Amino acid sequence: FNNVPRSLNGRPYTIYFSVDETGRVVDIRVQPAIKDAAFRQQFMETVREWTFDPGFTRDGKPIAAVCQVTVRL
């Protein structure tokens, strides 16, 4: 992440999100909340750009998944 405000440097943040059947990130939540509005917007936009290979059922159909990632800014 670029231009991390000093007040956030070194702090861990846990990102909770879902990955839909196409591999896109949806339903993002961050704990603790990022109070700096401009950085929060940049952070959320960056996470929305992440893509993943979706999970599959045993019969090969793509499925959504819930994920959790902790980052230290």
How would residue 2 be classed by pLDDT, with cut points 50, 70 and 90?
Answer: confident
Q: Residues 14-71: pLDDT tens digits?
A: 999 999 999 999 999 999 999 999 999 999 999 999 999 988 999 999 999 999 999 9
Tokens of 46: 């960056």
pLDDT of residue 54: 86
Q: For residues 25 and 23, what is the distance between their CA atoms, to the nearest angstrom?
A: 7
Phi, psi at 46, each rounded to 5° = -65, -45
